Amino acid sequence: MRRTTLNFVVDAVAFIVMLGMIATGLVVRFALPPGTGGRWAIWGMGRHDWGGLHYYLALALLVLLLVHLALHWAWTCVIADKLLSSIGLSPGSNAGVQRSRAGRRIAVGCATLAIVAGSIGGFYWLAASNLVVNAHGTIRRNAPAGLVNDGERAVSRDEHNSGRGRAQVKGSMTLGEVAAIAGVSTDRLKAVLGLPGDTADDARIGQIRRAHDLTMSQIRSQVVALSESSAEPS
């Protein structure tokens, strides 16, 4: 494949992927806003499914942008040299200088990759270190001692464990996550919800609800009852 054809294909695919990101972002933001959970679906896909598609499109676009940069790296280096020349930082044109320029291009390429990887990794680390999971079950990492976050305010663990907020089960959650919220085993939760014993622990609640004709209200009420019974002293 000729270089120009390859460039066109990469750019065309990147454009299509970008349109897909915009479309899925609009679906997640407006058509299936937060709180719809497993109640609403578009073409059989709930909000969580559309969010996953949006994520993978973003990864695909990142890969395509890196390929685009690699295909145009020589041009990028030429433009960089011209910009450096305009401010008197570009070397001359003898053989030694050309070798220096080639080495500098390699260094710039490595530095660019390091900056991109560091920016993405740094953002992920910052986000993960400030994780605040509300009363859907997981304890807030940086919550004050004795408190958890219920999504709106910090509450005592006693209040949280009493069942308040535990009804906020979402369709995007897995069966195992809901069992952890209720403080029971997945087998116990399956029995209470009337699910087959071979139901996967990583199955999404929204999918389970649709497959077994359950409502989110029924599931939440059972989770509250289980969490309250598990919190009672034996």
Kindly report, residue by residue over 150-207, the tens digit of the pLDDT.
444 444 444 444 444 444 688 888 888 888 888 888 999 999 999 998 888 888 998 8
Residue 186 lies in a domain: yes
Residue 99 lies in a domain: no
DSSP H helical segments within the chain, as ranges? 3-26, 47-71, 73-86, 95-129, 157-161, 175-182, 186-193, 205-211, 216-231
Of 99 and 31, the one with more pLDDT: 31
Residue 199 lies in a domain: yes
Q: Which of 71, 105, 131 is the last residue of a domain?
A: 71
- Which residues span the domain enclosing 226? 147-231
Count of domains in the chain? Answer: 2
Of 133 and 50, the one with more pLDDT: 50
Instruction: Say how far apart CA 151 and CA 132 lie, in whole Å.
Output: 9
Q: Which of 50, 71, 92 is the last residue of a domain?
A: 71
Other C-beta atoms closer than 10 Å to the C-beta of 180 total: 17
Q: Across the chain, what does the average pLDDT equal?
A: 77
pTM above 0.75, yes or no: no
Of 52 and 32, the one with more pLDDT: 52
Residue 197 lies in a domain: yes
Confidence of residue 37 (pLDDT cuts 50, 70, 90): low
67: phi then psi, degrees, rounded to nearest 5: -65, -45
Residue 78 lies in a domain: no
pLDDT of residue 44: 85
Name the DSSP letter for residue 138.
S
Q: Which of 71, 92, 111 is the last residue of a domain?
A: 71
Residue 83 lies in a domain: no
Residue 96 lies in a domain: no
Residue 173 lies in a domain: yes
Confidence of residue 101 (pLDDT cuts 50, 70, 90): low
